[in-house]
Amino acid sequence: MLSSATVYDLLQRGLGAARIRRILVDDYLSPRAGQRVLDIGCGTAEILRFMPPVEYVGFDPNPDYVEKARQRAGVGARLVCDRVSEVSLAEHAPFDLVVALFVLHHLDDAEAGQLFTTAVRHLKPGGLLLTADPAFVPGQSPIARFLISRDRGAFVRDEGGYVRLAAARGVNPIQSTVRHDLLTVPYSHCILTHRKPVA
């Protein structure tokens, strides 16, 4: 059912996804008008509701999500029904901000590592990469652990697992934060940020 953009949006809203996106944009991304933004696994481009006018490029492999994203994003945004790759990014890069929200836990280590490599390569010096995914955390709420164990993603990791994935692809420096307050239900997220050094 979640392959339907309408069902996906309804579920996201019910869980408080608008709140989590606002927090991620305001507390971590701090986008400025006119910046170039790459959204990997953009879904229906809900994040645009919380951003100033930006040059937005969104990738998602689900055609129903991409069509809904096109309707939401309007003229000027570029939406691509595909997975991100070196070839698919060639005409779009570089970017001030790269976001991959709730994507890594759907990818095995090889594909997740490639995401990090590709994202950082196409990030401008001084640009920011942000990821956020469900995470298993020692001592977390039993309800959160249960819900996360039932997630569609087959590769939910703990905080260290996400950090090691990034570090193995040379993503440095990297900051990680675990938060339990982003949804209306008990849940745990691992947030990674990387500011690409200026040479």
Could you read off the pLDDT of 1-32 as tens digits, one per residue?
Answer: 445 555 555 555 655 578 889 999 999 999 99
Predicted TM-score (pTM) of the model is 0.89
User: Residue 2: its pLDDT value, please?
Assistant: 44
Q: 87 exposed, middle or buried (CB, 10 Å; 0-12, 13-18, 19+)?
A: exposed
pLDDT > 50? residue 118: yes
Q: Give residues with Cβ within 8 angstroms of 74, minimum separation 6.
A: none
Looking at the chain, the whole-number percentage of residues with pLDDT higher than 90 is 72
In contact, 123 and 196? CB cutoff 8 Å: yes
Q: 53: helix, coil or strand?
A: coil
Helix H, strand E, coil C: the string for 54-78 is CEEEEEECCHHHHHHHHHHHCCCCE
